[in-house]
Amino acid sequence: VSEDLSPAVIVQGRQQPDFLGNKILFGAYAIVFAGTSNNMHQRGECGIALRETVRPGRYRFMILDTGRVIHSHSWQELPIDDFVISRVHDLASREGQPLLVDGYPILEFAPGVPIRDIDQEF
């Protein structure tokens, strides 16, 4: 038994997965696979990429059905369609998120505490 190679690599001759090569951009839409089971339940969930986790090749995703955040090292990126856009808008409105100003988020020190430009104060 090897500490570096999986049984599939040894017995079946499959290639070792390259988790370090897994990259996905923030906001990308994907089907996320977080574990498998030997039953008829759905194995993938639709999600939006958030950020890389501490472990290389693993990312956090916001699941569109529930809004919860999961992490995974396996996904299939898909094009964003109108359903995805409307679902993200629904989740944002339920959380009371503000609208973007000119396509950019509003940056604050804390909720309701704006960041002031130093030049404006003098």
pLDDT of residue 3: 75
Give 21's contacts (C-beta < 8 A, 6+ positions apart).
57
Global pTM?
0.65
C-alpha span between 91 and 76 (Å, rounded): 22
| The pLDDT of residue 17 | 62
The phi and psi torsions of 74 (rounded to 5 degrees) equal -135, 125
Mean pLDDT by 10 residues, the chain (122 residues): 74 69 87 79 86 85 91 90 91 83 78 73 54
Which pLDDT value is given to residue 29?
A: 95
Alpha helices in 1-122 (DSSP H): 7-12, 82-94, 118-121
Q: Letter for the amino acid at 48?
A: I
Question: Tell me, what's the pLDDT at 77?
Answer: 92
